[in-house]
Amino acid sequence: MKNVTYIKHHPHSAGKWIYEGYARAWEFLGFNVKFFNELSEIKNDASYVMTTESDILNDTGVLSDVEKSFVFVQPFTFPQPWGSHPNWVTSVSHECAEKTNSKKSIKKWTFVNGVHGENYKPWNEVSYFPLAFDSIGYQLPDFDIKKEFDVCFIGGWANNGFNEKQKRIIDYLSLIQRSNLKCGFFVNSGLNHNEENFVLCSSKIALNIHDEYQVQLGLDLNERTYKSLATSGILVSDNVKEMENIFPHIKLANNPEEMMDLINQYMKIDDDDLISEKIMNRNEILKNHTYIKRVERMLQI
């Protein structure tokens, strides 16, 4: 009986964390997971395949032979200036998209909202699955208000082709570093899961800083959103429209000064009230926003 899920290997940057989280979720649900680099590595033991749109240019036959193939697709058009960079331009023609649309076993998905707009129109029936929390890869100890850090941030420059994020991170974190808070800031530090887990769980407040395109377009959230709410339990983020849609209670800052004000507000909250909010946020993530939940939904489309 087929019971194998093949997942495209993503060895670098955010893709590595995301698809490893998905792999653990598939395994949790009882599937044997195998990573692949080329479609030719997929054997006839495959029940499901998670891959990216570049593979449909090579061979849609392989993807059609399995029960379902979940293909991550890019929008055909993307607002400027990002739409002018290869990172934001789909490699698939309209003709190839139409051919893929005719394959009922191939399910298209993305973690960028707006799938019903003009940007995704040639793809037809794209499912929106936001990123999520890797509830298996991270350990969640009970909340203890005695923390190593008042605030923490873990991330990298993550150059998307325009090198927008570096300035945003510097602007936000430099102001906070000048305060009297105990800061656990690790930028481009290469922390592993255990080290990252320790910092997040050892901080009263976790901070989040998105890419410029996410702030301007407001269509998606980074994985750090879900990770921070599950581990630290308290998140202060820069202002992204999609945050209001998914987590309307999260405090959002339009600039470094506003983020500093929101942090100071949290620092004045009674310990019991702070822990109550942490528990509420963690429970919401575990109930609705894990990679296990995302896979369960994928299997339903």
- Please give the residue that has the higher pLDDT: either 215 or 121: 215
Domain identity same for 48 and 164: no
- Quickly state the pLDDT bin for 1 (edges 50, 70, 90): low
Final residue belonging to a domain, choices 95, 129, 163: 129
Query: Has residue 157 been placed in a domain?
Result: yes
- Give the DSSP per-residue string, 39-86: GGG--TTEEEEEEEGGGGGT-HHHHHTSSEEEEE---S---TTGGGSG
Q: Take residue 160 and report the two structure tokens written for it.
A: 């998307």
Domain identity same for 110 and 171: no
Using the predicted structure, report yes or no on whether residue 115 has a pLDDT greater than 80.
no
Nearest alpha carbon to residue 17 among 226, 296, 266: 226
Task: Provide the CATH number for the domain around residue 155.
Answer: 3.40.50.2000
Note the pLDDT tens digit of each residue in 242-288.
999 999 999 999 999 999 999 999 999 999 999 999 999 999 999 99
- Predicted TM-score (pTM) of the model is 0.95
- Please give the residue that has the higher pLDDT: either 116 or 135: 135
- Structural domain tally of the chain? 2
Domain identity same for 163 and 250: yes
Domain identity same for 282 and 161: yes
Domain membership of residue 89 as a residue range: 4-129
Distance CA(144)–CA(26), nearest Å, equals 31
Task: Provide the CATH number for the domain around residue 40.
Answer: 3.40.50
Domain identity same for 102 and 231: no
Query: Has residue 137 been placed in a domain?
Result: no
Q: What is the pLDDT of residue 158?
A: 85
Q: What is the pLDDT of residue 290?
A: 98
Using the predicted structure, report yes or no on whether residue 13 has a pLDDT greater than 80.
no
